[in-house]
Amino acid sequence: MGSMPEKPRHGFGSLVTGLQEVCESGITKDLAWRRSQLKGIIRLLTEKEEEMFDVLRDDLGKHRAESYRDEIGALVKSVNHTLRNLERWAAPEKVQAPLVSFPATALVVPEPLGVVLVFSCWNLPLGLALEPLSGAIAAGNAVVVKPSEFAPATAAFLASNLPKYLDPRAVKVILGGPEVGEQLMEHRWDKVLFTGSARTGRIILTKAAKHLTPVALELGSKCPCIIDRLDSKRDTQIAVNRIFGGKWSLCAGQACLAIDYILVEEEFAPALIEVLKSTVKRFTTTPDCMARILNEKHFKRLSNYLKDRKVAASVVHGGSVNPKTLTIEPTILLNPPLDSDIMTEEIFGPILPIITVKKIEDSMKFVRSKPKPLAIYAFTRNEKLKSRIINETSSGSVTFNDAVVQYVVEGLPFGGVGQSGSGQYHGKYSFELFSNKKAVFKRSFLIEFMFRYPPWDNGKIGMLRHVFNTNYVLLLLGLIGLRR
């Protein structure tokens, strides 16, 4: 139950204590310092844009447009939003104080947690490192970023550039694989944000429990896309455009927010598939319009899904894989077996199963039969169906008639629930995730009520009842009668 902090062990002991000292010195708490760091991130994103495009292409084969839209541009927007609102978020918030405590002031004062650790993921290696970093800095913390070793060019880029654009005393990058991650977790952190798989998330949590380190987990899930019968051709085309954007255009489907599978009514499925096929053809005229698969391990995993005989039989478009270039063409399946791996695991790739249901309302039951996803997408004009989806399913978020764009709406929290994670961030939520909201209650010596103190008697209990029932009239009468 000790109250004195434990002595740090293992290789990163001096890293952690050094950062704690930096925090204690008050540097990171200073608003001007925070602003300068956030501006440093903007400068990095502007000045090193070309280099960032290069490393993202090296690591994932992403086209610059995708890199800009999903990572660099989204970051610029987000950090500017933070800069505009920093003072407001950091300001103490006055709250109501009960009349009986008059004169008193009650405040909620946000303060930094201290030293935080951010684990980034390989699929949006820049975004998933810098977005949490900006939030942690905005909240006044010192930060260690551990980029994913699976995106080595980006990791190296961060390691060499963050010290140039940000204050290297308070912002550090640590490179390495899982052993490094585990070693880092041997220490106590004031907060950890982990983006990645549930398996690794559990390892992080287990280590965190030893030190009571609070952890926010951004995990994966099978994000369903419910497509209602759309009567107009234009609506269908737009829906399919957006589905493409939410699947193949997003790191070839390797994203936690990507559409994993589709649910559609039996009768509408053929029409949908036709439009999907033609749109895929139109959008993928050049090979660089879709990212490649991260590495051989994931390529094998995805190819194996298609090797399952019954799954292979359900392919209605695509299916070809190229182990040399680590690319898989956009592949559409119609009703693969529900117990196949591809329908029980998060796909994280460019394969899109379509599951048909008799009535679109049945899709909600299907979604509920699986763990709560990070996002649910639904294309429909039916307001009743929309209400039902919101009320009868649970997910990190719900987006109607589009996919993934909720990521850039700064006012909306981003995060999962249940198996898809816990803790939310983006915009103000990032600031809060990395803050301690300290309750502050200021009283004066002026007014003192004797009934607070022992020795107790029934008279005092009576007065206390009035206080708790906020019956100020009776309280006042009692005071006049009882005043000593």
Binding positions for another protein, 398-417, rule CB under 8 A: 398-402, 405-406, 408-414, 417
Q: Are 182 and 203 in contact (CB under 8 A)?
A: yes
Binding positions for another protein, 138-157, rule CB under 8 A: none
Binding positions for another protein, 287-316, rule CB under 8 A: 288-290
What Å distances lie between residue 185 and 51, 86, 161, 175, 206, CA to CA? 31, 30, 24, 14, 9
The helix-helix angle for 73-90 and 31-47 (nearest 10°) equals 170
Binding status of residue 17 toward another protein by CB under 8 A? no
Closest CA to 354 of 270, 467, 425: 270
Binding positions for another protein, 193-212, rule CB under 8 A: 198, 201-202, 205-206, 208-210, 212
289 tagged catalytic:
no
Q: Which of 121, 256, 265, 432 is catalytic?
A: 256
Judged by CB, which is closer to another protein: 348, or 434? Answer: 434
Question: Which window, 163-171, 314-322, 432-440, 471-479, contacts another protein (CB under 8 A)?
Answer: 432-440
Binding status of residue 99 toward another protein by CB under 8 A? no
Question: Which window, 120-128, 263-271, 320-328, 442-450, contacts another protein (CB under 8 A)?
Answer: 442-450
Binding status of residue 454 toward another protein by CB under 8 A? yes
d(C-alpha 257, C-alpha 395), whole Å: 12
218 tagged catalytic:
yes
d(C-alpha 307, C-alpha 296), whole Å: 16
Binding status of residue 175 toward another protein by CB under 8 A? no
Q: Which of 10, 281, 438, 471 binds another protein (CB under 8 A)?
A: 438
Judged by CB, which is closer to another protein: 73, or 163? Answer: 73
331-334 vs 351-357, strand pairing mode: parallel
Binding positions for another protein, 47-86, rule CB under 8 A: 63-66, 68-69, 73-74, 76-77
Q: In the structure encoding, which two tokens stand for residue 189, read together? A: 């952190």
Judged by CB, which is closer to another protein: 27, or 97? Answer: 97
Residues forming beta bridges with residue 353, ordered by sequence position: 333
Binding status of residue 436 toward another protein by CB under 8 A? yes
Give CA 356 to chain center in angstroms: 30
Q: Are 129 and 118 in contact (CB under 8 A)?
A: yes
Binding status of residue 390 toward another protein by CB under 8 A? yes
Q: Are 105 and 97 in contact (CB under 8 A)?
A: yes
Q: Which of 50, 468, 473, 484 binds another protein (CB under 8 A)?
A: 468
Beta-carbon contacts of 434 under 8 Å, excluding residues fewer than 6 positions away, are 112, 113, 116, 135, 136, 138, 139, 141, 191
Judged by CB, which is closer to another protein: 313, or 405? Answer: 405
Binding positions for another protein, 23-52, rule CB under 8 A: 24, 29
Judged by CB, which is closer to another protein: 111, or 149? Answer: 111
Binding status of residue 369 toward another protein by CB under 8 A? no
Alpha helices, DSSP H, located in 48-117: 49-60, 64-67, 73-90
Closest separation in Å from C-beta 304 to another protein: 26
d(C-alpha 424, C-alpha 397), whole Å: 11
d(C-alpha 376, C-alpha 190), whole Å: 32
Active site residues: 218, 256
